[in-house]
């Protein structure tokens, strides 16, 4: 009987084999977490919006709150990813703070 030992593979060859194995279609059958999460949010939001018939002030308030929340989240995500930036030479200051000389 021949004892099993690990194959003699250098790190570059091991990386190549791993990437080749993981690129097979059998590992890529799920849509991914972000796609799943966005789909769940869309389904939930559509269920909420389907219940709004325009006759209830509470439902209209919920719709406005969701719209504002969506805009705020989109702004924060764009800000965090760097797509919305402040100028490097002019950091934001509250209007009541004097400028430094």
As a whole-number percent, the residues of the chain with pLDDT over 90 amount to 10
User: 90 versus 95: which is more confidently predicted?
Assistant: 95
Least confident of 7-11, 41-45, 51-55: 51-55
Range with lowest mean pLDDT among 4-13, 54-63, 74-83: 54-63
In which band, very low, low, confident or very high, does the pLDDT at 16 lie, cut at 50, 70 and 90?
very high
Query: Nearest Cα to 49, choosing from 35, 60, 37, 38?
Result: 60
Q: Which residue has the higher pLDDT, 19 or 52?
A: 19
């Amino acid at each position: 009987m021949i004892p099993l030992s690990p194959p003699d593979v250098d790190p570059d060859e091991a990386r190549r084999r791993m990437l080749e194995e993981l690129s097979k279609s059998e590992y890529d059958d799920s849509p991914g977490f972000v796609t799943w999460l966005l789909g769940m949010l869309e389904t939930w939001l559509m269920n909420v919006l389907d219940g709004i018939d325009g006759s209830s002030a509470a439902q209209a308030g919920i719709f406005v709150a969701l719209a504002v929340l969506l805009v705020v989240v989109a702004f924060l995500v764009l800000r965090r990813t760097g797509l919305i930036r402040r100028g490097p030479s002019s950091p934001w200051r509250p209007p009541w703070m004097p400028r430094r000389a």
